[in-house]
């Protein structure tokens, strides 16, 4: 569990750092970005976990989303892990951009050859919080989760599968119903096998329909000009219908003119951090 600091830059009064560690879940070296607000120098702070989308590393969010200012103001630690194990020398891991490296989909793989390393769900929900709580002034009772695209899917399933674990959840253009879209079907069949029943355990829409637990307040932003929305990869309508049915509070904002990029995330990240702060600092 040794953490090695890769970089440290002062940012918005606090520090944006990157660490490297040997992951027991993923059996490889993993990089993780941690933003420590000024408040963390003196007291324990809540932790906001950010899950990035396809092809991303820990760098995209910390360099493009502009989250540090709001995190500094609200006294929130932001933890942004990488999106998949890397350098595991698995055959075919670098063949396509939407499967393998950079596309862990936040599931625990059950199929060979992926099941040894591709346990991103356990990494994100178990190993990473343990690591953070042990090494930083983090309040273990106060964590929340958010993400973009594949990371939005990851954030939603983490929250829905672990009632009470996350105080707040939000998502940018999440893949809401992966079992119904091309990306999800490709990834799930690769990691989880042909049995579609096993896929449902990682599908936000399916999970939402049967969720029961402490009240969630989900904020979802979606660009209207997102090419993946029109390509039916994201399917937010299905999730909204399930949440409406199961009375899970969601505010879904379709933002006209915005696409799937980090420019879109940058535009609304402050709203999301405020949304999380409301529950984390309550």
Partner 1 sequence: MDLYEVYTGSRLDVITEEVLSGDEEHGEEHQEEVKEEEVNRDLPTKEAFVVVSERTETRELSSTSQRFSTDTNDSLRFEAYVPSSDEEGTPSPDSSVDGHEDVFEEHKESEALFGVTAQQKLNKVNNIRTKLEEKVVEMENFAGHLEEIFLTVEENFGRQEQHLEQHCNDVLQTLSHRYDERAAALGEEKKRKLESLYTQLLGCGRTLDASKDLIETAQELYRTEDKRLFLQAVMPTMKRIEEFAKEKPDLTLVTPLEFDMPLADLSDVKTMMDSINIVPAPSAPVINPQVSNSATRTSLRVCWSLFSDDSVEYYELYYRPVLEDTPAADSTKGPDVFNVKVKETHCSVGELLPNVQYEFWVTATNTTGISPASEKAVYVTVPSPPVIRQRECSSCPEAALIRWESGNTNPVDSYTVELSETGTDGQSGVNESIVAVPTCESLIQLQSGRQYLIYVRAVNIGGPSDRSEAFTVSTTGTIFHLLQDTAHPCLSISEDGFSMFYGDEELPLSAMTFDDNTFARCVAVLGDLIPVRGRHYWEVELEEDTEYRIGVAYEDTQRNSYLGGTNTSWCMRHVLTPSRHKYEFLHSGWSPDIRITVNPVRIGLSLNYERGILSFFNVDLEQHLHTFYCSFLHYVHPCFALDNPGALTVRTGVEAPQYVHLV
**Catalytic sites, residue numbers:** 149, 226, 260
Cβ 161 vs Cβ 204: under 8 Å: no
Kindly report the backbone phi and psi dihedral angles of residue 149, in degrees, each rounded to the nearest multiple of 5, phi listed first. 60, -110
**Cα 239 from Cα 183, distance rounded (Å):** 16
Decide if residue 164 touches partner 1 (CB under 8 A). Answer: no
Q: Which residues contact 262 (CB under 8 A, 6 or more apart)?
A: 60, 61, 64, 65, 148
Among 107, 128, 229, 240, the residue binding partner 1 under the rule CB under 8 A is 240
* Residue 7 or 210 with smaller CB distance to partner 1: 210
- Closest approach, Cβ 238 to partner 1, in A, equals 12
- CA–CA separation, 243 and 202 (whole Å): 16
User: Applying CB under 8 A, does 235 fall inside the site for partner 1?
Assistant: no
Minimum distance from CB of 48 to partner 1 (Å)?
15
Residues 6+ apart with CB under 8 A from 121: 106, 107, 108, 154, 157, 158, 202
The distance of closest approach from Cβ of residue 217 to partner 1 in the complex, given in angstroms and rounded to an integer, is: 5
Residue 30 contacts residue 20 (beta carbons within 8 Å): yes
| Contacts with partner 1, 188-227, as mask; x by CB under 8 A | ---------------------------x-x-x----x---
Nearer to partner 1 by C-beta: 15 or 228? 228
Extract the tokens encoding 22: 């040997």
Shortest separation between residue 169's beta carbon and partner 1, angstroms:
13
- Minimum CB separation of residue 153 from partner 1 in Å reads 18
Helix (H, G, I), strand (E, B) or coil at 127: helix
Of these, 1, 115, 249, 266, which contacts partner 1 (CB under 8 A)? 249
**162 vs 244, beta carbon nearer partner 1:** 244
Of positions 32, 158, 250, 269, contacts partner 1 by CB under 8 A: 250
DSSP symbols for 170-219 = EEES----GGGSHHHHHHHHHHH-S-HHHHGGG-HHHHHHH--SSPP-EE
By CB atoms closer than 10 A (0-12, 13-18, 19+), residue 269 is: buried
Task: Indicate the residue among 134 and 254 with the shorter CB distance to partner 1.
Answer: 254
Q: How far is the CB of 246 from partner 1 (least distance, A)?
A: 8
Q: Which of 55, 252, 261, 270 binds partner 1 (CB under 8 A)?
A: 252
Nearer to partner 1, 196 or 274 (CB): 274
According to the binding rule CB under 8 A, does residue 89 interact with partner 1? no
> Where does this chain bind partner 1 (CB under 8 A)?
215, 217, 219, 224, 236, 240, 243-244, 247-256, 274-275, 277-278, 282
């Amino acid at each position: 569990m040794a953490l090695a600091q890769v970089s440290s830059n002062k940012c918005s009064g606090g520090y944006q750092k990157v660490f490297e560690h040997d992951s027991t879940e993923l059996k490889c070296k993993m990089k993780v970005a941690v933003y420590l607000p000024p408040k963390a120098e003196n007291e324990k702070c809540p932790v906001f976990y950010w899950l990035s989308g396809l092809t991303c590393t820990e760098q995209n969010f910390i360099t493009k989303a502009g989250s540090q200012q709001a995190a500094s103001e609200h006294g929130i630690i932001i933890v942004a892990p990488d999106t998949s194990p890397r350098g595991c020398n698995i055959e075919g891991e670098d063949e396509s951009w939407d499967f393998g490296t950079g596309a862990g989909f936040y599931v625990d793989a059950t199929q060979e050859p992926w099941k040894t390393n591709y346990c991103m769900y356990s990494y994100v929900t178990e190993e990473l919080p343990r690591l953070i709580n042990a090494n930083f002034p983090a309040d273990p009772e106060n964590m929340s989760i958010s993400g973009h695209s594949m990371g939005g899917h990851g954030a939603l399933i983490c929250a829905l599968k672990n009632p009470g674990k996350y105080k707040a959840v939000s998502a940018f253009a999440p893949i809401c119903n992966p079992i119904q879209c091309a990306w999800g079907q490709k990834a799930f069949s690769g990691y989880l096998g042909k049995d579609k029943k096993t896929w449902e355990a990682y599908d936000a829409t399916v999970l939402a329909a049967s969720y029961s637990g402490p009240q969630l307040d989900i904020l979802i932003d979606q660009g209207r000009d997102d090419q993946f929305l029109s390509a039916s990869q994201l399917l937010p309508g299905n999730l909204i219908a399930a949440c409406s049915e199961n009375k899970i509070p969601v505010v879904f904002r379709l933002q006209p003119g915005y696409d799937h990029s980090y420019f879109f995330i940058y535009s609304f990240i402050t709203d999301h951090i405020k949304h999380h702060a409301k529950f984390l600092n309550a």
